[in-house]
């Protein structure tokens, strides 16, 4: 590089003729030197490479001097070597780690005071007599040291630019100008390097967060259909990271069954610019299936064009575990139903026995009538008819029990809660009598049907009824009363409550009863209420327990009925047991 050869190595005009030349050519020199410094700043090298070049440049144009750019680590705060290619390694090593204080040498002092420090003669200047830096510099043959803070635009000290010379000296105006240029360029270079580190760190953090949350991000420019996808998006779509993500590639991964709905969502977004929320499946090249959730928000790019910034989250594990949970709950519900069989068995025996003994009695009467002389055909016919009626009744009871205790997939339809309740109360009649329980059924007339699974709802009501009976088992000093009520509620809902005069419950533990395996019974399993609440919540309802004003407790649930609103939105099958 050639810069202004009229200048001496000390950086000032050599004689009177030179003075004129200096005044004539100085502006051009400053421009050239500033340009060169800016070129170095833009060179794209590493921080230390660029700072090294800056130091060499100054040493080249500024005469017999050595330069160092030292960074300040404000965590110490201490001085660190950034670049000092012309200074001895032993000198730099001793500078590195110096505390930022006013008495640890000119560099640390300049950082500490945030001002330029000119040590024109380290040997004689009384300020440095006690400083370790003085002996270090003198030992390396350096007598003067000029240190200038390199400040960020926000005003914090990023580093120090130091010029050291073998003889006592003060900076010339030329050198002061050069120092100012270097401090400015070095601040840009150091600040950029810091920003680059921050950006790299946040990119790494983002990539790690995306990996942990199985979420890939993307930007979709609608005007060109260009898609920019993160590394994690590539991994979710199982694409090579060097391969650019395109809308076509994204589409090719969508499960054929979900293809129309995704395309519709994207087309809708294209026309209305609303947020995208969509869950669908991907069919991977090895035929495995992934469940993904896409969320995107519309924004404008700097040119005002519409683009979507979004995320695609792989929710496969969650969906699979939900399915497993649903299956486990279904097993649990089945167990709960089978467990209910124990307390019910007396009723079942009674219910089935009644028509069976009716059949036996009618059949023997019929036999007697037919073998009489003369045979009583009309009487026999009547007894056969009665036997047939009893047989049908027995078969109906068995079918009901079968529905209740066999494991079935949820079957959604219109359910009459009053009818289900009546059936169960009939089934429990002998239990009620045996336990001396008086029953009051207050079933609302014209109760609208609900949408749901009949067997599941039967199971909930049965569980509430059996619990109520058990809660009254130990009560002997007052009457055992069971009140079953159905009523229509505001907002197209139906409520069913079972109230007893049993042991009751504390408000504080009312919620604990619904926890799985919470039981106070010696042979209880503690799953009935847990499963019941699960079922009711999947019927978009609630199930609660509360102590009665008097003795006992009341359990009630409320679910949407087949009203106007329910008709339109309730046809979603519960996924539960």
Q: Which residues bind ligand ADP (CB under 6 A)?
A: 463, 467-468, 471, 500, 502-503, 505, 513, 518-521, 524-530, 553, 555
Smallest gap from residue 545 Cβ to ligand ADP (A): 7
Measure the CA–CA gap between 311 and 404, rounded to whole angstroms.
45
Half-sphere exposure of 307 (CA within 13 A, CB side): 17
Between 521 and 572, whose beta carbon lies closer to ligand ADP? 521
Sign of CA dihedral 356, 359, 364, 367: negative
What are the φ and ψ backbone dihedral angles of 400, each rounded to 5 degrees? -65, -45
Between 98 and 553, whose beta carbon lies closer to ligand ADP? 553
| Residue 169 backbone class (left: φ over 0; alpha: ψ -120 to 50; beta: rest) | beta
Smallest gap from residue 566 Cβ to ligand ADP (A): 28
What are the φ and ψ backbone dihedral angles of 2, each rounded to 5 degrees? -120, 120
Smallest gap from residue 351 Cβ to ligand ADP (A): 22
Other CB atoms within a 10 A radius of the CB of residue 382 amount to 15
Between 262 and 554, whose beta carbon lies closer to ligand ADP? 554
Between 420 and 527, whose beta carbon lies closer to ligand ADP? 527
Smallest gap from residue 495 Cβ to ligand ADP (A): 17
What are the φ and ψ backbone dihedral angles of 68, each rounded to 5 degrees? -145, 140
Q: In what order do the strands lie in the sheet with 480-489?
A: 437-443, 480-489, 493-500, 553-560, 542-547
Between 178 and 336, whose beta carbon lies closer to ligand ADP? 336
Residue located via tokens 């009716």: 358
Inter-CA distances, 299 with 265, 274, 311, 577, Å: 17, 10, 14, 43
Between 449 and 547, whose beta carbon lies closer to ligand ADP? 547
Q: In what order do the strands lie in the sheet with 215-221?
A: 226-229, 215-221, 306-314, 289-300, 276-283
Smallest gap from residue 512 Cβ to ligand ADP (A): 8
Between 214 and 545, whose beta carbon lies closer to ligand ADP? 545
Smallest gap from residue 446 Cβ to ligand ADP (A): 28
Contacts of 7 (CB under 8 A, 6+ apart): 13, 22, 29, 61, 174
Smallest gap from residue 457 Cβ to ligand ADP (A): 16
Q: What angle do CA 426, 427, 428 make, to 5 degrees?
A: 90
Smallest gap from residue 467 Cβ to ligand ADP (A): 3
Task: Determine the 3-state secondary structure of 440 from DSSP.
Answer: strand
Other CB atoms within a 10 A radius of the CB of residue 481 amount to 19
Smallest gap from residue 547 Cβ to ligand ADP (A): 9
Between 218 and 555, whose beta carbon lies closer to ligand ADP? 555
165, burial (CB in 10 Å: exposed 0-12, middle 13-18, buried 19+): buried
Between 269 and 472, whose beta carbon lies closer to ligand ADP? 472
């Amino acid at each position: 590089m050639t810069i202004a050869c009229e200048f001496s190595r000390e950086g000032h005009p050599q004689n009177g003729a030179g003075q004129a030349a200096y005044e004539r050519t100085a502006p051009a020199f400053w421009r050239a030197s500033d340009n060169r410094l800016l070129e170095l700043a833009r060179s794209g090298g590493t921080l230390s490479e660029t700072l090294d070049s800056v130091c060499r440049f100054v040493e080249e144009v500024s005469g017999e001097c050595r330069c160092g750019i030292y960074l300040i680590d404000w965590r110490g705060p201490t001085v660190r070597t950034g670049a000092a290619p012309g200074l001895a390694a032993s000198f730099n090593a001793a500078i590195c780690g110096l505390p930022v204080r006013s008495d640890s040498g000119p560099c640390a002092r300049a950082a500490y005071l945030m001002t330029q420090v000119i040590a024109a003669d380290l040997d004689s200047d009384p300020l440095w007599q006690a400083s370790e830096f003085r002996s270090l510099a003198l030992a390396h043959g350096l007598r003067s040291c000029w240190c200038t803070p390199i400040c960020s635009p926000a005003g914090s000290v990023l580093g120090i630019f130091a010029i050291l010379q073998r003889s006592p000296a003060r900076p010339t105006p030329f050198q002061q100008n050069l120092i100012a240029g270097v401090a400015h360029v070095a601040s840009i270079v150091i600040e950029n390097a810091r920003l680059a580190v921050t950006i790299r760190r946040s990119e790494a953090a983002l990539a790690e967060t995306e990996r942990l949350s199985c979420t890939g991000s993307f930007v979709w420019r609608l005007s060109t259909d260009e898609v920019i996808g993160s590394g994690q998006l590539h991994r979710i779509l199982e694409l090579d990271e060097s391969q650019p993500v395109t809308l076509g590639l994204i589409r090719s991964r969508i499960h054929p069954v979900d293809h129309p709905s995704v395309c519709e969502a994207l087309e809708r977004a294209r026309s209305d610019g609303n947020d995208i929320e969509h869950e669908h499946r991907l069919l991977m090249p090895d035929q495995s299936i992934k469940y993904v959730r896409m969320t995107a928000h519309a924004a404008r790019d700097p040119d005002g064009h519409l683009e979507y910034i979004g995320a695609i989250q792989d929710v496969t594990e969650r969906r699979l575990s939900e399915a497993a949970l649903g299956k486990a709950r279904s097993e649990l519900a089945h167990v709960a139903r089978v467990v209910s069989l124990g307390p019910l068995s007396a009723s079942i025996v009674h219910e089935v026995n009644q028509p069976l003994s009716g059949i036996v009695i009618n059949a023997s009467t019929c036999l007697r009538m037919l073998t009489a002389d003369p045979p009583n055909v009309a009487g026999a016919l009547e007894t056969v008819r009665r036997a047939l009626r009893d047989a049908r009744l027995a078969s109906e009871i068995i079918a009901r029990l079968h529905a209740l205790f066999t494991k079935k997939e949820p079957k959604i339809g219109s359910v009459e809660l009053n009818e289900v309740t009546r059936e169960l109360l009939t089934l429990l009649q002998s239990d009620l009598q045996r336990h001396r329980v008086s029953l009051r059924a207050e079933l609302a007339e014209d109760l609208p049907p609900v949408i749901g699974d009949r067997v599941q709802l039967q199971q909930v009501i049965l569980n509430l009824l059996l619990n109520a009976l058990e809660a009254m088992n130990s009560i002997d000093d007052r009457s055992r009363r069971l009140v079953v009520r159905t009523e229509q509620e505001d907002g197209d809902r139906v409520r069913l409550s079972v109230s007893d005069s049993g042991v009751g419950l504390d408000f504080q533990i009312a919620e604990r009863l619904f926890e799985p395996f919470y039981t106070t019974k010696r042979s209880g399993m503690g799953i009935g209420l847990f499963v019941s609440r699960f079922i009711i919540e999947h019927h978009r309802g609630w199930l609660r327990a509360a102590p009665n004003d008097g003795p006992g407790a009341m359990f009630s649930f409320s679910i949407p009925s087949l009203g106007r609103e329910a008709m339109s939105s309730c046809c979603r099958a519960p996924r539960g047991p």
